[in-house]
Amino acid sequence: MRPDTKPIDAEAACAFVSQRVTRPIGSLAWISQYLCCIRWDEVLILQGSPLLGLTFSIGSLTPAKIADAILFAAGSLALLAHVFVLNDWAGLTGDSRDPNRASDVLVNGAIGRTGMRYLWIVLLALSLFLLSPFGHRTLLIALAIACLSALYSAPQFHMKGVPMISTAIHLAGGLLHFLLGYSLFAPVDARGLEVAAFFALAFAAGHLTHETRDRHADLLNHISTNAVRFGERHSFIAAVALFTAADLWLILLAVQKRIPGVLLAVVPVAAARLYWSAQTYRGGLDFDSVRLLQVRYRVLYACVGLLLFLAVLA
């Protein structure tokens, strides 16, 4: 536990989050409580993958394609919001014991478990409705993402607590997130799969980093993640290896001119990430240091994504 964090009464927190607070229908305060349950920072970060997939397949811009892209972005946003709300709903009791997440749990507790269940169901239905005009290809990929989310988070399956399988789910999820956008204007082909492989590796690496950060909380909640089963250092090293493999793959694609050469900009990004990863490893892999590393590499990869977006459009 961090020295500046007050101990949490787990039983009291669990009792609090199980309560429902009744809000009048139509109230802005009632709506805001539901919106506060969504981890918008994570949702927006992961939006980069399907939007870049869309960019790769869109071709020349037309007003009709721009309108489709806007509708797709709304559907993708709802789908990713569903993924995180389902995850938070499934882990609500356990998160209440985590001092690093207790404040988030208290916010989510304003609508209770029942309200959160309704929220992820509504978000899933909304996403499928918004994505349905784009045909069976895009809709099937969206359903596959929802199924992977259920396998990982839902209490009936809870693959989050099965080492290696949880990472395999994230590999498949990273691949599908990119292909969700790519499928909008093109069939899933070799080029799409080649670029999607980068996102699959990076997504799985980010998952292992996240497990390293949350190892102590997962130990407390008896969740056998990779970091709990194999140790936080082994999990962190695996994350660094997957990130490096993703970067090398992107560099190879750029050198072979399979993607815009401007993406060789990932070379200094990879070097900076490796340097910061070594610092974090030597520092002991505490929650705050791993969290700082996540913020840093997310900013760098967001810049790479922006370069990719501009280069493909150009």
Q: Which domain holds residue 207?
A: 189-219+228-314
Domain presence at residue 114: no
Q: What is the pLDDT of residues 157-215, one digit of tens each?
A: 999 999 999 999 999 999 999 999 999 999 999 999 999 999 999 999 999 999 999 99
**Nearest-10 crossing angle of helices 63-90, 136-153:** 20
CA distance 74 to 261: 30
Q: Is residue 150 part of a domain?
A: no
Q: Report helix, strand or coil for 260.
A: coil
Residue 275 resides in a domain: yes
Amino acid at 310: L
Predicted model pTM: 0.85
Contacts of 275 (CB under 8 A, 6+ apart): none
For residue 309, give the 3-state DSSP assignment: helix
Q: Residue 139 falls within a domain, yes or no? A: no
* Domains in the chain, number: 1
DSSP characters for 127-142?
HHHHHGGG-HHHHHHH
Burial of 22: CB neighbours in 10 Å, binned 0-12, 13-18, 19+ = exposed
For the segment 14-55, what is each residue's pLDDT rounded down to a tens digit? 444 444 434 444 556 667 777 777 888 889 989 999 999 999
In a domain, 35, yes or no: no
Of all residues in the chain, the percent with pLDDT exceeding 70 is 84
In a domain, 311, yes or no: yes
By the 8 A CB rule, do 198 and 183 touch? no
Angle between helices 28-35 and 112-131 (to 10 degrees): 80
